[in-house]
Amino acid sequence: MFFARHGLNVALIERTHDPLNFKKVCTHFIQSSATPTITRLGIAPSIEEAGGIQNSLEIWTRWGWIKFNSETYGYNIRRQKLDPLLRRLAANTKGVDYLPGREAQELTVSGRRVRGIRIHGNDGRVEEIGARLVVGADGRASRMGEISGLPAEVSPNNRFAYFAYYRNLPLASGWKSQTWLLEPDLDAAYALPVDDSLTLLAAMPLKTKLDRFRSNLENTFRSYFETLPDGPDIKRGERVSEFRGMLDFPNITRVESRPGLALVGDAALSSDPLAAVGCGWAFQSAEWLADSAFEALLAENDDLLDRALIQYSKMHQSSLGPPNL
């Protein structure tokens, strides 16, 4: 959307044909750092019309509750609502050519420079698209990251996660999100009010407890929350979804760009989900890339683009942390 608004032509490639498809495993807490980007895009009204809640947060630590008195906010909205909304807005943006049902397979390269991408359709057809800049924005299990040729650093995450949605579940915090950082086990838990009057409960214990959770997920999950200080009384609510889980989610850091290619969001940096930064950083890094590169792309100048991508990488690293590769 940012690139197209600057007058550039964008091919938006997506694997699925389904306009309602959404990421199933995400707690969708959008940090307040992304709100300026959301406001600039002009999509805040659409998020709120879809039921998105302006979020605030209380955090439990061994010293008690940390409660924030701040006018800043992000959004809590299920990906079931957010993803189709963003897809529709992007596809309807002038200059965006939406190409669903196609999957990235290979980069086309001339020397060190990426010149485009080869995509395979669900019907078996192979297409090649030339581009001055290829952007990988395909999440934690990034196909673009795999084929990018960019070095990556992978470190283990020793937690797992299960979550589910509940209806009619009051929280001690009212409408504010709650996070528990539990010691000495280093476990974590979340209670997040979301759209349609639902509440997401998420447990993120150490992997040493995985077998116990798997043996009786319903009861163990309920018992986990019953022990939390000022935690929700699950028995008062109705679980309205299946349990969804992530059993292995390593932290992945990639170099953000090379000539003709850049990565944004989790494709560039898949951080610990404990901090719930993925959605917010995806919005922010997309904005940084567009602001850095659009003038060079309009000028059709590869040297300018190379410098712009270096500037994007520097901004990414200084804001979110260096890759240390």
Q: Are strands 10-14 and 96-100 parallel, antiparallel or unpaired?
A: parallel
**129, two tokens:** 């698209």
| Tally of CB atoms within 10 A around 147 | 18
Q: What is the structure's pLDDT at 325?
A: 41
- State which H helix or E strand residue 60 sits in: strand 57-61
Q: Are strands 187-193 and 177-182 parallel, antiparallel or unpaired?
A: antiparallel
**192, two tokens:** 């997040």
CA nearest 209: which of 180, 242, 247? 247
- Is residue 201 within 8 Å of residue 170, measured between CB atoms? no
pLDDT by residue for the chain (325 residues), tens digit each? 999 999 999 999 999 999 999 999 888 899 999 999 999 999 999 999 999 999 999 999 999 999 987 788 999 999 999 999 999 999 999 999 999 999 999 999 999 999 999 999 988 899 999 999 999 999 988 999 999 999 999 999 999 999 999 999 999 999 899 999 998 888 999 999 999 999 999 999 999 999 999 999 999 999 999 999 999 999 999 999 999 999 998 999 999 999 999 999 999 999 988 888 999 999 999 999 999 999 999 999 999 999 999 999 999 999 997 544 4
**24, two tokens:** 């199933």
As a whole number of angstroms, the distance between CA 82 and CA 163 comes to 18
Q: Domains of the chain: which residue ranges?
A: 2-28+80-156+250-320, 161-246
Contacts of residue 65, defined as CB under 8 A and 6 or more positions apart, other chains included, come to 58, 59, 230
Q: What is the structure's pLDDT at 224?
A: 95
Range list of β-strands (E), 132-239: 134-136, 152-155, 161-167, 177-182, 187-193, 198-204, 238-239
CATH classification (class only), 2-28+80-156+250-320: alpha beta
As a whole number of angstroms, the distance between CA 284 and CA 275 comes to 16
As a whole number of angstroms, the distance between CA 254 and CA 187 comes to 27
Q: What is the structure's pLDDT at 322?
A: 53
Measured between its terminal Cα atoms, the distance across the chain in Å is: 31
The angle at the Cα of 88, spanning 83 to 93, to the nearest 5 degrees, equals 130
CA nearest 189: which of 156, 222, 218? 222
CA nearest 240: which of 80, 114, 108, 74? 80
CA nearest 119: which of 133, 99, 141? 99
**134, two tokens:** 């290829």
Give the global pTM: 0.94
Backbone angles phi, psi at 62, to 5 degrees: -65, -15
Q: What is the 3-state secondary structure (H, E, C) of 297-312?
A: HHHCCHHHHHHHHHHH
